[in-house]
Structure 1
Amino acid sequence: MWHDTKLMNNTANALFGLVLFMLLLSGVWWVIQRPVFTLRVIKVDAVNVGSDGSGLRHVNPLTIRNTALPRIRGNFFTANLDAVRAAFEAVPWVRRASVQREWPNKLIVTLEEHVALGTWGEDGRLISVKGDVFTANLAEAEDDADLIALNGPEGSEKEVLAQYLEFKNWFAKINLAPESVNYSSRYAWGLKLNNGMQVELGRVQDANTLKSRVDKLMQVYPQLLASLQDSIENVDMRYPNGLALRSSHSNIGLKKQTKASGKT
């Protein structure tokens, strides 16, 4: 073996290359650990800036400092951007975060906030205008807008939101709007309007079930309003040939109910 010159030369070259590689690797490691690459600045921007120049409404430096910054590790080169993104997405009100490096010691974080539409379920969570359910300060959300109440089985958030938007569009024709929408565990729809009237629409049988029942209600609503004024409490539209109505007139304190058979 020791008399094989070619083999010895190849072995020496390989060892020399390995040592050179290790020296180069050590040099690179030494360079990237220099203090100049320590993260000095984390700039936070907003995805959508309002016409008044405002940026983030609910995410503030204090919540970022307390929630996100303690979870960031490494420097300009070694910081895991996925981990940084996850740290910022753990901040209340943050819907989505994106992170970029800026030479030599800066991170640019762009945040998109949730825009609350209403509450979801009974546990105090919020639902956004995009159908995302999240946890945040309810009082802050109430400062932004009048919240509607949405409820449904887990995983149905976007379906309930889409149906709410359809209800809103349909009832706008008679100057009413949903205050709450409930999609029960039995897959039956119900809603409460901003005049206090509860409307039961039942289960969907085909693509036109809900629309046809709402249309039927809107056809008779002017007559109901003329005769009962604001005393309508509940309208049950689950009957194929009619409806069930419950009303109470504040002046006489009586209950009036009209029923039809064949509820579906």
Structure 2
Amino acid sequence: MWQDIRLLNATANALLGLLALALLGSALWWLVHRPLFTLREVKLEGPDHGALQHVSPSTVRGTALPRIKGNFFTANLEEVRVAFESVPWVRRAAVRREWPNKLVVVIDEHKPLGTWGEDGKLISVEGDIFTANLAEAEEEGDLPEFNGPAGSEREVVARYRDLMQWLAPVELKPEAVELSGRYAWTVKLSNGVTVELGREQNRETLKNRVERLVRIYPQLVARLQDRIESVDMRYPTGLALKASGLTLAPETKKK
């Protein structure tokens, strides 16, 4: 009999506990779904509370906001992050809740470095390929052109930075940098001259070839003015040059 009473008490306590949990759950559900917690605002800001340059509220309204479901408590922040990272110009997004009905989205924008390939894509200073309005990217001037095999984006950006440094003594800049399918480098300079640099045999190959061009370039300009069209630096000790009405090439074999 005593054992039966203990069993009955335990059962009753368990039922009461379940009832209490059910009531608590219902109360929480009721509270969570109050109009007070309906999302009223999505605030956009750049890193360190900075202003955004390219991401516009109108683009966000059309691209990201329709994909946000739920309220302050129930919105899935990972899904919100993914929605914002689908917006043009957004490189990364971080989302947090702000009491009682706001989401704050911190956006890291792509910083365009140049165009990539022939399909209108852009490449960022980090070497990421992204799609955005080219006219916006070129508000401050034409961007350099880049091209290369898939997966070579960061390598091409790194070589561009090297070329900027190597060409500085003759006040030239790379206007276009291309890595071919055979992994040979071609550079178009800011004065319109095309330079064939060939393949990298070691870490110093390109640097040595550009430095050789830099040493002789003032002499070439002094003699040929603006007639130079292309320079081939793939020769071990010399170069091949094409200018308006003139072609010069060494006897040695290029690499």
TM-score by length of 1: 0.91
Distance 1:260 1:117 in 2: 39
CA distance in 1, matches of 2:190, 2:181: 24
Aligned: 1:257 with 2:253: no
Does residue 125 (structure 1) correspond to residue 116 (structure 2)? The answer is no
The aligned counterpart of 1:134 is: 130
Q: Residue deviations 1:26-58, cap 9 Å, x none? A: 1111110000000011111122677xxxx2222
1:117 alignment partner, SS class: strand
1:183 aligns with 2:208: no
Q: For structure 1, which segment, 30-39 or 102-111, has the greater mean C-alpha deviation from structure 2 after superposition? A: 102-111
2:229 and 2:91 mapped to 1: Cα distance? 38
**1:236 and 2:232 aligned:** yes
Q: After TM superposition, what 4+ stretches of structure 1 lie above 6 angstroms from structure 2?
A: none
Secondary structure of the corresponding residue to residue 44 of structure 1:
strand
- 2:124 is aligned with 1:160: no
Give the letter for the 1:175 counterpart: E
Q: 1:19 Cα shift?
A: 2.0
Aligned residues: 255
Once residues 78 and 46 of structure 1 are traced to their aligned partners in structure 2, the CA distance between those partners, rounded to angstroms, is 25
Partner of 1:101: 97
1:88-126 CA distance string (max 9 Å, x none): 111111122111111111111112222211101111100
User: Percent same amino acid among aligned pairs?
Assistant: 60
Deviations 1:195-214 (A, max 9, x none): 11111111111111111111
Q: Distance in 2 between matches of 1:6 and 1:117?
A: 77
Alignment partners' CA distance in 2, 1:109 and 1:161: 29
Q: How does 1:139-218 map to 2 (within 5 A)?
A: 139-218=135-214
Question: Per-residue deviation at 1:262?
Answer: 2.0
TM-score, normalization by structure 2: 0.94
Residue 243 of structure 1 contacts residue 260 of structure 1 at CA under 8 Å; is this kept in 2? Answer: no
Structure 1: give runs of 5+ residues left out of the alignment: 249-253
Uncovered stretches (5+) of structure 2, i.e. residues with no partner:
none
Determine helix, strand or coil for the equivalent of 2:42: strand
CA displacement at 1:146 relative to structure 2: 2.3
User: What's the CA shift for 1:241?
Assistant: 2.5
In 2: Cα distance, 1:212 partner to 1:19 partner: 81
CA positional deviation for 1:180: 0.4
